[in-house]
Amino acid sequence: MADSNRYDAIVVGLGAMGAAALQQLARRGVKVLGIEQHPIAHDLGSSHGTVRAIRKAYFEHPDYVPLLERSYELWNDLENATGEQLLNQCGLLLTAKPDSETMRGLETCYAEHSLPHERLNAQEVQKRYPQITPPEDHTALFDPSGGYVFAETSVRRLITQAEGLGADVRIHEQVQGWKADAQGVTVHTVDSEISAGSLIITVGPWATTLLAELGVELKVLRKPQLWYDSPHIDRYRPPEFPCFATEMDSGFFYGFPALGDQGLKIAEHLGGSHVDDPSNIDRALHPGDETEALEYLQQVFPRFAPRLKHFSICMYTKSPDDHFIIDTHPQFERVVLAAGFSGHGFKFAPLVGEVLTDLAIEGRTEHPIDFLRLGRLTK
């Protein structure tokens, strides 16, 4: 029998963005249902990996900074509500050639926004962090507000908060389709037909078909995340050791200090193999998945002596310009979508949840997201 329940809003996809939207909707007293095809905080999409980076110095585009300021506030709100530390500002050390696109982007960001930072040359980096040997022609910028957010824990806390405020959640339920009209939306799952006033779609790499129908091609990439142990692992722990990123000729590598018994986490931001079907991604680790990371560790962390401890396969869902897509559906004003977070979106999750709630309930938002609107890609 069809489910006759009606909601004010439905959120499809409960990774970081969907979980944050569910929580924000519930905070505003909205009768809301969240639907997820997998378990909560699963490792099959793009919202896992124990920790994800957070920073205010944004070389991708200075317009992200006001959004980041609000996101930091909302992370703090979530910490206060749960009584649990979710964000650790151990700092981020980024090194690259002075004339690189990354450094030029950071200079633009600092020129437009008053953000604390420190400039260091390669010798100064080595003096402060003898564990790190950056290339001699690199310069460094240290972002004291940078650090990491606990990924799966944050998703779980957002869902728990939402449920505590009255949200309904269905897991292991796959959406087969939806339709919208002037009166609202109807979502069809394997088991149910559910109606609502509005629909928020946050399905990560599963958004490719929807965006293709709107004239935007998303690219999904397979991204190995690697954790390495070392005989000297205690020298790579916070707060003495920060998050790090290095723009090498072979790629843009980033990582996190060792936490607990997990080891040093490292990944590469720019590469990755194409994924045709996110439900059937190759989740095995192949020898080639480690090659560039091990070469990077040998060059920049020559005394680390890495031993692989753990790995996980993640996915990047990249938009054509590597910026997020957050907007109302161009044909259905009651449908809101967020996609294409291009490997740098997790830190914005609480802010994205707030924006999606604004758009779904009010039809507008005060947050400056025009540069993330869909229209820039469909002109």
How confident is the model over 76-92, as pLDDT tens digits? 999 999 999 999 999 99
**Helix residue ranges per DSSP H, the chain:** 16-27, 64-82, 101-112, 122-128, 151-164, 208-213, 287-300, 349-361, 375-378
Residues 157 and 306 in one domain: no
Judgement on whether residues 248 and 123 belong to the same structural domain of the protein: yes
Output the pLDDT for position 5. Answer: 80
Give the pLDDT confidence score for residue 379 in this predicted structure: 74
From the centroid of its chain, how far is CA 368?
A: 19
Q: What's the Cα-to-Cα distance from 318 to each of 53, 99, 226, 291, 312, rounded to whole Å?
A: 17, 25, 21, 23, 19
Q: Is 305 helix (H, G, I), strand (E, B) or coil?
A: coil
The model's pTM: 0.96
Q: How far is CA 100 from the centre of its chain?
A: 24
pLDDT for 118 beyond 80: yes
Both 19 and 158 in one domain: the answer is: yes
CA distances 24 to 11, 29, 198, 233, 339, Å, are: 11, 9, 14, 39, 18
Same domain assignment for residues 245 and 312: yes
| Domain shared by 251 and 353, yes or no | no
Q: Which of 269, 302, 318 is the last residue of a domain?
A: 318
pLDDT of residue 2: 42
**Same domain, residue pair 114 and 246:** yes
- Count how many domains the chain has: 2
At 168, the pLDDT band (50, 70, 90 cuts) reads very high
User: Where does residue 374 rank: exposed (0-12), middle (13-18), buried (19+ CB within 10 A)?
Assistant: buried
Whether 123 has a pLDDT exceeding 90, the answer reads: yes
Residue 371 contacts residue 61 (beta carbons within 8 Å) = yes
What digits encode the pLDDT tens for the residues 198-211? Answer: 999 999 999 999 99
- For residue 341, give the DSSP letter: B
Q: Which of 318, 335, 353 is the last residue of a domain?
A: 318
Tokens representing 107? 């200079």
Q: How confident is the model at residue 270 (pLDDT cuts 50, 70, 90)?
A: very high
Closest CA to 24 of 365, 370, 364, 355: 355
Same domain, 208 and 120: no
**Quick check: 185 and 199 in contact, CB under 8 A?**
yes
Residue 184: which CATH number?
Answer: 3.50.50.60
Q: What is the domain range of residue 353? A: 6-47+152-215+321-378
